Every structure is written in structure tokens, then in C-alpha cells.
Structure 1
């Protein structure tokens, strides 16, 4: 009799535990959908208010540079009326990334907050606190979550599977700040360890350290399409960093691009 009582008690505990886990999981899923929907609304609103109609073309060609402006025209006054920490806009047509970028004094803040500074597990894309967005040095770093729905930096992993079938126009990144309108060309895409801090380096003591950084960009590249780019210590680089793999992973996906055009 005691055996059956213990069995029934164990069954009740197991059932209760299962229901708790199911309920908790449901709450997390609902929160994820809510966070996703909020970001989608923010993205649509900022695109419609801060970008001119000419910016909505999905592609532009380096062959048309003489007749068609390749730069993004961004209304930062409108953007900063929403959040004064908005400092740039990035567009990568190849992976459908087209959003404003923020920078604050705490690199951890936008890991858990959206563009409106509201709590959101998907966060927002932000510039490293060590990077000077007005006077960009050799390397400027951006961080963003690897969102499952392709938001933020979730679509960057597509770059790992690019083949030679793509043209050089597919490698371009439009990047506009309050001070400059710029175009970068992707020159390196790779997966590295979370303890690898070399790729986010922002200050360089001498030409030797700069040369080491350039060599690292070349050697770590894992996509043949980007291997032909010529790089030098006179170049300026934009580095995009995100997680690679499941939540809590120790891997990082890195995309690096060099400046090829600038409209001061």
C-alpha cells in the first residue's frame, strides 16, 4: 500500500513539474514573439521617417557610382528625437539588414534594451564604447544579437555560405553617420572564439600592430569570395560581431569590411 502511495505521490510531483516547465516555456515563447514584434514595429517606423525614398532600392552597383549616389541619406534629427544615442545607420542589402545604430557609455545596455530604451531580450545593434564614430580609426566595431528571426545581426550567418556566383556589388555595406556617408566592402567573414579579442581591437600603438591586425583579417577569412580584397594599414575597417550557434555559445561570427568610398 505504501508503495502505491509513493508511486502516486511521485506521479503527482512529476506531473506538476511538467506542467510548470510547460507553462514557463510558454511564457518565454510569448515574450520572444512580443519582443520580436516590437522590434519589427520600431524598424518599420524608423525606416519610414528617417530614410528618403531613394534609399529603399535593394541593390546598387559600383558601375553606376558616377551617375547614382551609393550613399544613404539619413535624417538624424528625426532619429535622435526618438533616441539621442542613435549615431549611425547600416544597410547590407545582401542580408536584408537596414537599421539605425546606437552608442552609449555601457556596452551591456543594448544587449537587453531596444531602440526605445525599453527592456527587450533581442536588444539592439550598437557601436563599441571604445570606437570614435566621428573620427573613425583603423577599426570600428558593432555588436548585435544573433536573433533567430534574422533581426539585428541574425542574418549575417548567410555570408558564410556565399559562393563565387555573387558579384562584387553583393559585398557592399552602406554606413552613414552624422558626420560621413560611407560605403564599405566586405573583406573577411569567419567564426572565432569568444575569448578572441584581437578582432575588436580599437587602438594600435604602431604600424607593426596595425600590420598584425591586417594579417589577422586575411588569415581568418573563411569565405573565398572575399579573399581577393587588397588590404593595408591605411584602410579603415568596420567590424560586425555576433554570437554563432545556440544561446550561451562561446563562438562568435565576425564580418569585417574596408572603407572604399566616403562623402564628407
Structure 2
């Protein structure tokens, strides 16, 4: 019995579909590289133009929510002696009026201006220059106020494979990062104050919304939140946290199903 010959038109359809798929993949790769190139150019320009300086700030005048007991196993007392960083926002505001802060995370490439708008989706697809770019930018949750600070203040960015934006936040799971205790603090500068935050929890978790809750109706619900996020940590930090603390949360993608989450508490703040 003779095999039925596949009609020529079937092969033609297969060929057309294959060409379309490969072309689409090629265009995506091309756009991805262009987005990376544009983002890298902006980062380089910002590094050249942004003036960042260290500011000595006496601990006794700037410490926030100090623990009741000065015990040696609480690194708070060491970190409040560190200088703050100050950023000149004049040029940044000229470049992007949405700029609300500048974030530096030791042991990573995170050293960027932070923007905010009334839509959390905008800076997922727009760069610092507000041009369309799937690399996005680092942004503060629209529900937060950088000046008054919520109980939980959330900053997002894409976890880019080239380690830009929050792509290098994954470094926190490397032994090299963890072994250097200087990495356990974040610097945040704003137009009105400079601040230092102590990390107390880092973890990976399937996508959810609980950890990005920004405010709590009761002290009990906030305490439950703090207990939960601290217990999730994959690394041990010599830090305590309570309901008088203000929290900074960094969130990015780890893979298609999980997020990398970092939590830190405000320990030092100086008005400008």
C-alpha cells in the first residue's frame, strides 16, 4: 500500500510558520539588545553626572528606633556609626521630574535614581528618560510617600540578565556577598533627607502580594507581617525588628515563577 504524499501546500504552511517564528524570535533578540544598549548608555551618563558624596552624621543625632538593649549580637549599633550618602537632585530632577530618591545596595550594581508615578506599570516598560524600553527602571510603589514613609515602602525593578536594574539583587544569595557584613545595609538619599537601612531578611518566593502590603490597620497585623517576612529569610542577620520600624522592601523577578525579596529597616536618618 502506497503512503499518501503530504500535499505541497502543507509543507508551504509549515515553512511559512517556521519563518514567522524565527523572524519573531530574531526581532525580540534585536529589541532586547537595543534596550540593553540604551539602558547601559543612560547608566553611564548618570554615573558621570550624578554627584554622590559621603556625609558624616553623628549616630546619637540621627539614629532611628534604637533597640532597648545595646547588645553585641545586634549589628544595629555598628551600622549607625556609618556615614550616609548624599545625592544632588538638581540634575536628576531636570532629567526626570518623577525622581524621588537614589538607592545604593552594597555588593550589587544597584546604584540608581528611583522614580515614582501614579501607575506601577509605567516604569516596567519605560526607562529613566521616559522612552519606551522593556528594561524599565527602578520605581517606588505608587501607594508610598517617600517623605512621610509608610510602614512598608516597596521599590521594584526588573531582574535583567545583564545585571542592570535589579538583576544583581540575586548576589545576596552568594557566599561572597553574605560573608561581607558591610553589605547588610542600604543607602537611600532623597531631596529632603539621607538615610541608612539595615537588612533583616532576604528570600525567594512564588509570586504573591502579601509582602508588598504597604500599610496595616492594626499593630497586631503589622507585627504578624514582620514576624512572617523575617521568618522567611534564607540568611541569618543579627537584626531585630518591631512595629515601630519603617521597612524598605526591594522586589524583583528571580525566574518566571519566583521573586527575590529583600527587607530592611530604617536605622538612621538625617534631614537635609
Q: TM-score, normalised by structure 1?
A: 0.86
Q: Tell me what 1:158 maps to.
A: 171
Q: Tell me what 2:251 maps to.
A: 241
User: What secondary structure sits across from 1:260 in the alignment?
Assistant: strand
Q: Tell me what 1:223 maps to.
A: 235
Quote the offset at 1:199 in angstroms: 1.2
Q: Distance in 2 between matches of 1:165 and 1:108?
A: 32
1:25-104 equivalent positions in 2, closer than 5 A = 25-52=25-52, 70-104=83-117
Quote the offset at 1:188 in angstroms: 0.6
Q: Distance in 2 between matches of 1:189 and 1:93?
A: 14
Flag structure 1 segments of 5+ consecutive residues without an equivalent.
56-61
Q: Distance in 2 between matches of 1:142 and 1:167?
A: 24
Structure 1, residues 183-236: CA drift from partner, whole Å, max 9, x if none?
1121111122323x2211111222212211210121111123x2x311111222
1:210 to 214, 222, 236: 222
Structure 1, residues 37-74: CA drift from partner, whole Å, max 9, x if none?
1111111112221224769xxxxxx97976xx622221
User: What secondary structure sits across from 1:41 in the alignment?
Assistant: helix
Structure 1, residues 97-150: CA drift from partner, whole Å, max 9, x if none?
111000001111111111111111111110001111011132110111111111
User: What secondary structure sits across from 2:107 in the alignment?
Assistant: helix
- Residues 256 and 65 of structure 1, relative CA distance in 2, 3 Å threshold: closer
- Residues 115 and 5 of structure 1, relative CA distance in 2, 3 Å threshold: same
1:111 to 109, 118, 124: 124
Quote the offset at 1:260 in angstroms: 2.0
1:260 to 261, 267, 271: 267
Q: Please list every run of at least 4 consecutive aligned residues from structure 1 whose deviation after the TM superposition is greater than 3 angstroms.
A: 1-5, 52-55, 62-66, 161-165
Q: Distance in 2 between matches of 1:172 and 1:210?
A: 22
The alignment covers a number of residue pairs equal to: 249
Q: Provide the alpha-carbon RMSD of the alignment.
A: 2.4
Quote the offset at 1:259 in angstroms: 1.6
Flag structure 2 segments of 5+ consecutive residues without an equivalent.
56-76
Q: Give yes or no for contact 2:109–2:164 (8 Å, CA) kept in 1.
A: no
1:168-207 equivalent positions in 2, closer than 5 A = 168-195=181-208, 197-207=209-219
Q: Distance in 2 between matches of 1:162 and 1:206?
A: 38
User: What secondary structure sits across from 2:261 in the alignment?
Assistant: strand
Q: TM-score, normalised by structure 2?
A: 0.84
